[in-house]
Amino acid sequence: MLIACWSAKGGSGTTVVSVALATVLARSSPGGALLADLGGDVPAVLGLPEPAGPGLEEWLASGASVPADALSRLEIAGPGGLHVLPVGAPSSTPPPPGTTGRAEVLAAVLAADPRPVVADCGCLPAGAGLAVAAAASVSLLVLRPCYLSLRRALQAPLRPSGVILVSASGRSLGRSDVEHVLGVPVRAVVAVDPAVARAVDAGLLPTRLPRGLERALRHAA
């Protein structure tokens, strides 16, 4: 199962939700879970050093001469049964001939993986992030319930199949407003919780996943 997480506004909590969801899924899956980083912040949120080797960007730019299963060689081991596909470094030159359609191949390979796969597609996905989000069986918009975020979500280049609401108390927009405006269900409500921010800042989110975050996301996918 391929689950894509994305946002319409930076700082929504997309990477935190992606890491937490993959951690929850890895715990209940014997082969662990795969976390594809198309946004670039996953290692930092996992508390891992920045990967020095190649990643998804290099694979996408390599063309059909590199077999699809070369992706698995890019995986790095994370904590708690997580396997991470790092984003790598984007090329400064235009994509070489023969690399068109690689984003769709990536999406198909991720969708066919026997493990649960979570893709952090970042803010307003484009390119490979958009292809992966479009191919996902579950496409989750991570959203703070405010007018500006909702407005941007409506202008996004894709529609989600569900919403993860990252909500502080006292907001005027609630679950039903978001469902009414976007026309898709809210799959989970994640509280804005200082314990989550502290775990992220300490690089300990997957190993000390705050209870409330785990409970909120257990049935989100």
Ligand X SMILES: Nc1ncnc2c1ncn2[C@@H]1O[C@H](COP(=O)(O)OP(=O)(O)O)[C@@H](O)[C@H]1O
Give me the DSSP letters along 104-168.
Answer: HHHHHHHHH-SS-EEEEEEES--HHHHHHHHH-SEEEEEE-SSHHHHHHHHHSSS--SEEEEEE-
Between residues 10 and 185, which has the closer beta carbon with respect to ligand X?
10
41 is a contact residue toward ligand X (CB under 6 A): yes
Residues 10/66, Cβ–Cβ less than 8 Å: no
How many residues does the structure list for the chain? Answer: 221
Q: Pick from 146, 158, 197, 204 the residue near ligand X by CB under 6 A.
A: 197
- For residue 149, state whether it binds ligand X (rule: CB under 6 A): no
39 binds Mg ion (CB under 5 A): yes
214: contact with ligand X by CB under 6 A:
no
Which is nearest to 119 in space by CA: 128, 217, 211?
Answer: 128
Q: Torsion angle of alpha carbons 17, 19, 22, 26, nearest 10°?
A: -140
CA gap 40, 97 in Å, rounded: 25
Identify residue 87 by its one-letter amino acid code.
V
The answer to the question of residue 185 lying near ligand X (CB under 6 A) is no
104 binds Mg ion (CB under 5 A): no
CA pair distance 33, 21, nearest whole angstrom: 10
186 binds, among Mg ion, ligand X, none (CB under 5 to 8 A by kind): none
Nearer to Mg ion, 66 or 158 (CB): 158
Tell me whether residue 90 or residue 170 sits nearer to Mg ion (CB atom). Answer: 90
210 binds, among ligand X, Mg ion, none (CB under 5 to 8 A by kind): none
Residues that bind ligand X in the complex, under the rule CB under 6 A: 7, 10-16, 41, 142, 166, 190, 192-193, 196-197, 200
Residues that bind Mg ion in the complex, under the rule CB under 5 A: 14-15, 39, 41
